[in-house]
C-alpha cells in the first residue's frame, strides 16, 4: 500500500482530553413511566458497545435532569437526527427539562416506542429503544450501558427493495465542538480487499 | 422553534441492532511491551465515556489478535484517520495481525507514545494514548473502558494562534457499513441560544 506523502512526524503533546471524533450527536428521549413526563437530552458521548446482544453506551452527567429519569426508569431511546434538525438538537443539549417542555418548545413530535415506555422522536429517521443494563460511575459522567431492544425506521427512507436509504437524509456528526453533516461516501466496509471495485467505491 | 415539515410518523419496526451512527472509524494501535510487537486494528465501536477524567470505550471481539495484546498490556492508542487514509483504515480492519505486519504492509508509520509503550500512527492528525481501567464482557464484544492520558496532534494542523485546524484534514466517519468524510460545518455547540450568529453558522 502506498505511504501517505504527508510529513506528519512532528507532533505536539496535549494533556488527555475527549478528542475522539467524529462522534454521533443524538437526541436521547426518556420519561413516560414512574411519574416522569417525556424529556429530551442531546448526547454526543455515545458509542456502540457490543454487536450481539446489540448494546450501546451513553454518558450523562448526574446533575442533568434526564439523569434521574433514566436512572429510575432504566430505559431511553436514542434518536439519530438528520442534519436539518441541527438547531433542535443543539437546543435540547443546552437547556434543561427542569425549565422547558422540550418536545413542545422544539416542535419535535413524540411517538410511542414499541418495547419501552420512553417516547421516540418522530422527525428522526432512526430511533433505538434501549434498556439500561449497568451504570458505570466513571467521573463527571456516568456511563449507561444499554441493550438495543428494537429500532424504528422512517418508512419514507426504505426503498422498494426494503433497503434503508440513509443518504436521502444525511445524519448529524459532532467533532471538537462543532456539528457537521456527513459528506461523500468513500467506500463500504471491506472495500480494500475486494477484487472488483463496486460502483460506489471512489478509489 | 419551527416544526419539521417532514411527514415522519410512519415507522417500520426492526429488531434491535447496532444502528447508532455516525460513529468514528479509528486505528487502534497496540503492542510494544510484554513481548508483543506493534499491531493495528480498526474499530468503529468506540465512544467517549467521560469528560473528567477523560475516558473512552472501545469494543473488541476476544478472537481478534489485538484483543489479547490489549488485555495483557492494558494500553493502546486511538488514532483518528483523515479521510485520505480510508483504504489503510479499512484494510487494518479486515486482515489479522496474526498473518500481517500491518504497519509495514499498510505503509503507516509508528511513532512512540509519550506516556505508554504502544505506538501512535504518524499519519493520523490526532492520537489518544489510553490506559485500560476496566473491561466489560458484554457479549461477542468486550468493552474496554480506558483513560485518555495524553493526546498527540500533528503540528502542521495547529495555526499561528495555537488553534487546531481540523478542517484542513477532515476526519473519517462510519455509518451503517460505509465510510464517509465529514461534510459541511453546521454550527458550534450552543449556537441555537446565542444572540448573535457566528460567521460559521449556516442557519
B100-114 pLDDT, tens digit per residue, is 999 999 999 999 999
Q: Inspect the interface and report whether the beta carbons of B8 and A153 lie closer than 8 Å.
A: no
Note the ipTM here: 0.92
pLDDT reported for residue A201: 39
A195 pLDDT higher than 80: no
pLDDT reported for residue B1: 59
A152-185 pLDDT, tens digit per residue, is 999 988 988 888 887 667 899 999 999 999 999 9
Chain A CB contacts of B128 below 8 Å: 16, 19-20
B151 pLDDT higher than 50: yes
Average pLDDT value for chain A:
91
A132 pLDDT higher than 60: yes
pLDDT reported for residue B133: 98
Burial class (CB in 10 A: 0-12, 13-18, 19+), A156: middle
Provide the β-strand partners of residue A121: A110
Q: Inspect the interface and report whether the beta carbons of A3 and B141 lie closer than 8 Å.
A: no
Q: What confidence category does residue A199 fall into, taking pLDDT thresholds of 50, 70 and 90?
A: very low
Question: Taking the mean position of all CA atoms in its chain, how far away is CA B181?
Answer: 13
Return the CATH number of the domain spanning residue range A23-185: 2.30.110.10
B1-19 pLDDT, tens digit per residue, is 555 555 578 999 999 999 9
pLDDT reported for residue B9: 83
Residue among A87, A176, A187 minimizing CB distance to B203: A87
Q: Inspect the interface and report whether the beta carbons of A11 and B154 lie closer than 8 Å.
A: yes
B115 phi, psi to nearest 5 deg: -110, -20
Provide the β-strand partners of residue B73: none
Chain A CB contacts of B63 below 8 Å: none
A193 to chain B, any CB pair closer than 8 A? The answer is yes
pTM: 0.93
Return the CATH number of the domain spanning residue range B23-193: 2.30.110.10
Cell of A24: 454521533
pLDDT reported for residue A203: 37
Burial class (CB in 10 A: 0-12, 13-18, 19+), A137: exposed
Peptide bond connecting A60 to the previous residue in cis, omega within 30 degrees of 0: no
Tell me whether strands A142-154 and A126-137 are parallel, antiparallel or unpaired. Answer: antiparallel
Amino acid at each position: 500500500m502506498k505511504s501517505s506523502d504527508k510529513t506528519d512526524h512532528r507532533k505536539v503533546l496535549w494533556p488527555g482530553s475527549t478528542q475522539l471524533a467524529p462522534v454521533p450527536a443524538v437526541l436521547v428521549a426518556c420519561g413516560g413511566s414512574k411519574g416522569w413526563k417525556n424529556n429530551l437530552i442531546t448526547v454526543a458521548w455515545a458509542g456502540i458497545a457490543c454487536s450481539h446482544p446489540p448494546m450501546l453506551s451513553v454518558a450523562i452527567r448526574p446533575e442533568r435532569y434526564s439523569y434521574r429519569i433514566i436512572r429510575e426508569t432504566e430505559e431511553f431511546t436514542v434518536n439519530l437526527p438528520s442534519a436539518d434538525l441541527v438547531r433542535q438538537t443543539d437546543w435540547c443539549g443546552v437547556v434543561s427539562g427542569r425549565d422547558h417542555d422540550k418536545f413542545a418548545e422544539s416542535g419535535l413530535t413524540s411517538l410511542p416506542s414499541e418495547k419501552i415506555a420512553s417516547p421516540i422522536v418522530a422527525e428522526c429517521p432512526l430511533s433505538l429503544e434501549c434498556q439500561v443494563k449497568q451504570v458505570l460511575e466513571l467521573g463527571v459522567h456516568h456511563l449507561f450501558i444499554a441493550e438495543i431492544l428494537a429500532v424504528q425506521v422512517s418508512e419514507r427512507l426504505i426503498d422498494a427493495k426494503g433497503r434503508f436509504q440513509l443518504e436521502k437524509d444525511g445524519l448529524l456528526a459532532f467533532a471538537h465542538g462543532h456539528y457537521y453533516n456527513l459528506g461523500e461516501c468513500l467506500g463500504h466496509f471491506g472495500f480494500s480487499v475486494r477484487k472488483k471495485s463496486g460502483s460506489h467505491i471512489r478509489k
